Amino acid sequence: MNLFKINFRTSVIAVILASLFSVSLVSQAAADGITWTSRTPAADNDWQSVTYGNGLFVAVSNNLVGNISNQVMTSPDGITWTARTSAANNYWTSVAYGNGLFVAVSVTGTGNRVMTSPDGITWTIRTSAANNSWTSVTYGNGLWVAVSDSVFGDTTNRVMTSSDGFTWTSRSSANNNWKSVTYGNGLFVAVSSSGGTGNQVMTSPDGITWTSRTSAANNVWQSVTYGNGLWVAVSTTGTGNRVMTSPDGITWTIRTSAADNDWFSVTYGNGLFVAVSGNGTGNRVMTSPDGITWTSRTSAADNGWASVAYGDGLFVAVSITGTGNRVMTSGELSTAAAAQAAAANAETARVAEAARKAKEQKELTEILALIPSIAELTLGLGETTKSLYSTKCVKGKTTKYVKSGAKCPKGYVKKK
């Protein structure tokens, strides 16, 4: 074979391989949780939780200022957010997606501490099994499970379950302050901020019967997730031990966090564990490919990051502090998800434009409806004027009217 052809073919193959390798690196970097970008939320609320489902990111807040119209916000791409009206003005703490339904739970309210939505936009109140301070909700194996802590004095009914998200039943558990629950590999796992090392974790295969497990340390465990065959939990207390992992949810091992920050939330996506923190300087994110070795990452802002979620190529975190920057994202939506998000944004813009035009049409209709009244008023004024000025005075081709009984101006002749 000609040497030139061999060299040419080799060069072409090398270029193709280099291009593919480059694209692979770009794709990997796009969703690696390392580079974060600030996004503008729908409102500067205390955003407590974010989740992803059916092509939509949904976040809930406690919004203590009492504005029910923006306690929920949604986004198809994690970038453009729209305020949604919650079903009640509660302190919403957690939101999850499963089986075609979004479910959120609250720590306040009377008989209305659950709300559901099929689309993240329209929400309906549901009656919780008890007026507990519900801190976390998850879905798995055909069942919704929520856990609560003891802020309002509830005792042994700190778990509730539902097959449909509408009707809820109390379940017994250890009397701990349960902060987070999730599902993976056939098991529900919850972690607590209180109790001894003998019971700060509990597990259940069915969400009904729960068994206490020994945590790796007596820390304030805030969040737990499952990914790649491993359970990972993070804490807001401890020295060099604010992460613990378990392959089965039963036996837990301490791991060293990237920094002793207040780690409030952890998630898994695209081969990576990502945790966010409420404090620290330039290090409020940490990532790990295996849940064991953690690396500090720079957040988009030093906000009080409360929750992080992953969806279709994108990590999204929400915060309880900050001005116009209480959302940050890392990664890039898949092509299909990006197209879906673009279509959703276009539909949102179309609906907003239609609403604007409808408002203008309504205002125009109201104005036109006033015209007959104005005409009648004008005619009435004309008749009144005519009755007041009923004496006709003529001077050549010029006519003037004067009040009844008054004399015509000089040079004018009175006419009947």
Domain that holds residue 315: 31-333
201-204 and 253-255 as β-strands: parallel, antiparallel, unpaired?
Answer: unpaired
Residue 329 and residue 37 in contact, taking contact as beta carbons nearer than 8 Å: yes
Span 208-260, pLDDT tens digits? 999 999 999 999 999 999 999 999 999 999 999 999 999 999 999 999 999 99
Q: 392: left (phi > 0), else alpha (psi -120 to 50), else beta?
A: beta
pLDDT tens-digit series, residues 117-167:
999 999 999 999 999 999 999 999 999 999 998 755 556 789 999 999 999
The mean pLDDT of 75-98, rounded to a whole number, is: 96
Could you tell me if 348 and 96 are in contact, meaning their C-beta atoms sit under 8 angstroms apart? no
Q: CB pairs under 8 A, 24+ apart, for 106-109?
A: 106/134, 107/133, 107/134, 107/135, 107/148, 107/151, 107/152, 108/133
Residue 152 has a pLDDT of 57
Q: Tell me whether residue 375 is in a domain.
A: no
The answer to the question of residue 128 being in a domain is: yes
376 is a domain residue: no
273-287 pLDDT, tens digit per residue, is 999 999 999 999 999
Q: What pLDDT shows up at residue 367?
A: 76
* pLDDT for the residue numbered 74: 98
Residue 359 lies in a domain: no
Q: What is the DSSP string of 391-412?
A: EEEEETTEEEEE-TTPPPPTT-
CA distance 414 to 68: 73
Please check whether residue 222 lies inside any domain of the structure.
Answer: yes
Tokens encoding 40:
């503008």
Assign residue 261 the CATH number of its domain.
2.120.10.80
pLDDT (0 to 100) of residue 129: 95
pLDDT tops 80 at residue 42: yes
Average pLDDT over residues 176-187: 97
Which tops the pLDDT comparison, 170 or 372? Answer: 170
Predicted confidence at residue 305, as pLDDT, reads 98
pLDDT, residue 230, reads: 98
Q: Is 33 helix (H, G, I), strand (E, B) or coil?
A: coil
Question: 236 near 194, Cβ under 8 Å?
Answer: no
Helix H, strand E, coil C: the string for 225-280 is EEECCEEEEEECCCCCCCEEEECCCCCCEEECCCCCCCEEEEEEECCEEEEEECCC
Q: How many domains does the chain have?
A: 1
Q: What is the mean pLDDT of residues 33-55?
A: 96
User: At which residue do the structure tokens 């673009």 appear?
Assistant: 342
Is 330 within 8 Å of 33 (Cβ atoms)? yes
C-alpha span between 190 and 201 (Å, rounded): 6
Q: What is the pLDDT of residue 414?
A: 83
- Residues 350-402: tens digit of each pLDDT: 666 676 777 778 777 777 777 766 656 555 655 555 555 678 888 888 888 88
State both tokens at 351: 């609906």
Q: Does residue 414 lie in a domain region?
A: no
Query: Cβ distance 283 to 295 under 8 Å?
Result: no
- Predicted confidence at residue 369, as pLDDT, reads 76
For residue 11, pLDDT over 50 is answered with no
Residue 53: strand pairing partners? 56
395 found inside a domain: no
Partnered with residue 415 across adjacent β-strands are 392
325 close to 301: Cβ distance less than 8 angstroms: yes
Residue at 379 is within a domain: no
Dist CA 216 CA 196 (whole Å): 11
At 17 the pLDDT is 39
